[in-house]
Amino acid sequence: GAVVSQHPSRVICKSGTSVKIECRSLDFQATTMFWYRQFPKKSLMLMATSNEGSKATYEQGVEKDKFLINHASLTLSTLTVTSAHPEDSSFYICSAQTLAGGKEQYFGPGTRLTVT
Amino acid sequence: TQLLEQSPQFLSIQEGENLTVYCNSSSVFSSLQWYRQEPGEGPVLLVTVVTGGEVKKLKRLTFQFGDARKDSSLHITAAQPGDTGLYLCAGPGGGYQKVTFGTGTKLQVIP
């Protein structure tokens, strides 16, 4: 149980274009999903907290107009990187918290974004 | 701000050796989780410890939560190449619903 999927797993885009990444909880409902960014050999950096039906809460230093988050249902959150630049290239990981139980987060497999 | 410091940062050992990874904080956590992440993948939850002094075993992995719930350790017995990965501890904190992640320990087990 507690499976989270991400799509796409890898994406290459040109500078100036936008990219949408989907995060789905496959076998449970998640009122809260999180988006992280991870640099090589580093720990996860929280970008934003996404709550179903409400606006996302962004961490300090994360541009909300650049990283658009939509949490339209209890099983789907999307992250759109707008007007992408090479410095946006990174590994983006989402996670979902179950409605019941503790604070465990279940992670998606990640999306490798490369902006050329 | 709740911080979780992990040590060592990097560890390279031979297959069959034992190792311990530490996760320390000056703050008290209601629970701590341990994750393992392989390159190009998302972190996978290994265990959650909740009670101070608690010890949990997962095959060759032994997890312990400190009595004061400020620290935790992960001990691996007879490490295997399949244990290679980034180990992350994490605990609730940093804000409502949020989880604070440790700095990470990158383990390499050489055959």
Tell me whether residue A14 is exposed, middle or buried, using C-beta atoms within 10 angstroms of its C-beta: 0 to 12, 13 to 18, 19 or more. Answer: exposed
Q: How confident is the model at residue A103 (pLDDT cuts 50, 70, 90)?
A: low
Taking an 8 Å cut-off on Cβ atoms, the answer to whether A103 and B101 are in contact is no
- Compare A105 and B19 and report the one with higher pLDDT: B19
Provide the shortest C-alpha distance from residue B25 to chain A (in Å). 16
pLDDT at A101 over 60: no
pLDDT at B65 over 70: yes
The Cα–Cα gap between A73 and A54 comes to 10
Q: Minimal Cα distance from A109: which residue of B?
A: B42
> Within chain B, what is the greatest distance between any pair of CA atoms?
43
Q: How confident is the model at residue B80 (pLDDT cuts 50, 70, 90)?
A: very high
Nearest Cβ partner of A104 from B30, B45, B101?
A: B45
The Cα–Cα gap between A5 and B84 comes to 23
Which residues, at least 6 apart from B80, have a Cβ–Cβ distance to it below 8 Å?
A: B15, B60, B109
Taking an 8 Å cut-off on Cβ atoms, the answer to whether A44 and B88 are in contact is yes
Q: Which of A36, A38, A40, A28 is nearest to A74 (CA)?
A: A28
Q: What is the mean pLDDT of chain B?
A: 93
Averaged over A22-29, what is the pLDDT? 90
H, E, C per residue of A21-68: EEEEECCCCCCEEEEEEECCCCCEEEEEEEECCCCCEECCCCCCCCEE
Query: What distances in angstroms separate CA A41 from CA A98, A105, B86, B88, one per listed residue?
Result: 28, 20, 8, 12
